[in-house]
Amino acid sequence: MPIQSMAQGFRLLAETSQPVHPVSLLATAHSARRTLKNLRPLPSQMLFIWQTYVENVDSFIKVLHVPTVSKLVHECHGNVDLLPSFMDPLMFSISFAAIKSLTSEEVQIHFQLDKKDLVSRFRIGAEESLSQADFINTKELSVVYAFLIYVFLIRLEESQRYVWSLAGLILRVAVALGLHRDDSYFPTITPFEAEMRRRVWCLICIFDFATGDCQKPELSIPDAIFDTRLSLNIGDDNIGPNISVLPEAKSGYTDMTMCLLRCKICRVGKHIKNVTSSMYPCRHEPDWDTLQKLVQLSEFKEQAFAEFLMHKRPDKPIYLFTRIMAVFSVKRYELILDHIRQPSLRPEKSSLATDNAFLLALGALEDIYTLQHGLSTRRWAWQFYGFIQWQPLAVVLGRLSVVEFDTIAEHAWDVSMRTLSILPEAVREKPLWQPLCKLI
């Protein structure tokens, strides 16, 4: 199939007219109108970049249908100049994400370039191509894919407030395209298009919650504004542009499992955050809401593991990563709810071995360290860059400051120091750094 024809499958609505005045919202001082050709990767580099994206990024930002994009990239032999211009943002965002996922040593080996320089180059390319595509008014689904990938990666580089603002922007772009409504409202949409739209909305909900979690969780997307169903738990090989009906969802781990789990965790987390929201009065006693959230969290854990993670897959490192991430997320929210019941950092019980909050916090620190440094999982550690576990660290260090040292305390101290030693230098500028230091 010709490249141009294949690329048309990415169009959300068939429109041939291009915007006359592109919006340069993402354009920064260094990105005045540029020739995108000078920013693109070489064809040989693009093939490696695409494979890296599939292996390191795709499972966590599951918005692309890998077989379709893979065919495009290989049909043009990595020469993205041959693709339609509306594919530029997607190719640059893929490149930005792929390089961001590699270590500095890996970039030096494969590109003989400094990682910061290459990341900057592809970020500029993504921003400039999104600007030229007039992403705010776009009707191209490929541009929305590109913007989603871009915002998921930009949160590793920019301030929480900046990223939170972008979350509101991409939400409105999606709503303007009707992605918040399910396919029953659009009778001309094919089953494949409907499923891809659901993937986009699922990722937008995840991103909105993840950014709002750090700013104003009560302003997250309300359930009442959308009826788009969750994506199916199926692999990319189970669907394609020519299918006439969607397959049944599968049990166990698939290409979509990680994102579906994250989306469900976000839904549970959103309700839990209502208990701790600044818009609600402070509760000094464990009330019915808090206890119900604990029950809800327990039910989620049981249901999620039964649906997605019941069958162990030692041959798939991504399965191990997903399982640990799910356990970590549950611990994190259990710790939040436990803090409502016991706000003080001082332990309720004299023994650390029976201190629930301490054990939850210590377990969370150990889980993330395992994901970041385990031989089979560290390739996905890029997404934890700058991720600081303030509450688990505060709970563990707070307990250690008032108890007598024993074997458990010594182990917890080692885990805390190990966690602190790998934090980026920029953490010292965070408002919570000084209070945390007082606990050491």
Structural domain spans, the chain: 3-238
Question: Contact 178/198 with Cβ under 8 angstroms?
Answer: no
End-to-end CA, the chain: 63
Q: What pLDDT is stored for residue 140 in this prediction? A: 92
Question: Contact 309/253 with Cβ under 8 angstroms?
Answer: yes
Which has the closest alpha carbon to 130: 148, 157, 152, 153?
A: 148
Q: What pLDDT is stored for residue 22 in this prediction? A: 37
User: Among all chains, which residue has been given the structure tokens 């299918």?
Assistant: 243
32: left (phi over 0), alpha (psi -120 to 50) or beta: beta
Q: Report phi then psi at 230, rounded to 5.
A: -65, 150
Token representation of residue 259: 């994102």
Which has the closest alpha carbon to 398: 368, 370, 358?
A: 358
Strand partners, 11: 140
Sign of the torsion angle spanned by Cα atoms 60, 237, 198, 301: negative
Which has the closest alpha carbon to 267: 210, 327, 331, 318?
A: 210
What string of pLDDT tens digits covers the 440 residues of the chain?
555 554 555 544 333 333 333 334 455 444 445 578 889 999 999 999 999 999 999 999 999 999 999 999 999 999 999 999 999 999 999 999 999 999 999 999 999 999 999 999 999 999 999 999 999 999 999 999 999 999 999 988 888 888 888 999 999 999 999 999 987 788 889 999 999 999 999 999 999 888 865 545 556 777 778 999 999 999 999 999 999 999 999 988 899 999 999 988 888 887 776 655 544 445 545 555 666 676 777 777 777 777 777 666 667 888 889 888 888 888 888 888 777 666 665 665 667 888 888 999 999 999 999 999 988 898 998 988 878 888 899 999 999 988 888 899 999 999 999 999 888 777 887 888 888 888 87
Token representation of residue 367: 């889980």
Question: pTM to 2 decimals?
Answer: 0.86
Q: What pLDDT is stored for residue 31 in this prediction? A: 45
The string of DSSP letters for 251-292 reads: SS--TTHHHHHHHHHHHHHHHHHHHH-TTS---SS--HHHHH
Helix axes 317-341, 288-308, angle to 10 degrees: 170
Tell me the one-letter amino acid at 331: K
Token representation of residue 291: 């206890």
Rounded (10°) CA dihedral 339, 344, 348, 349:
100
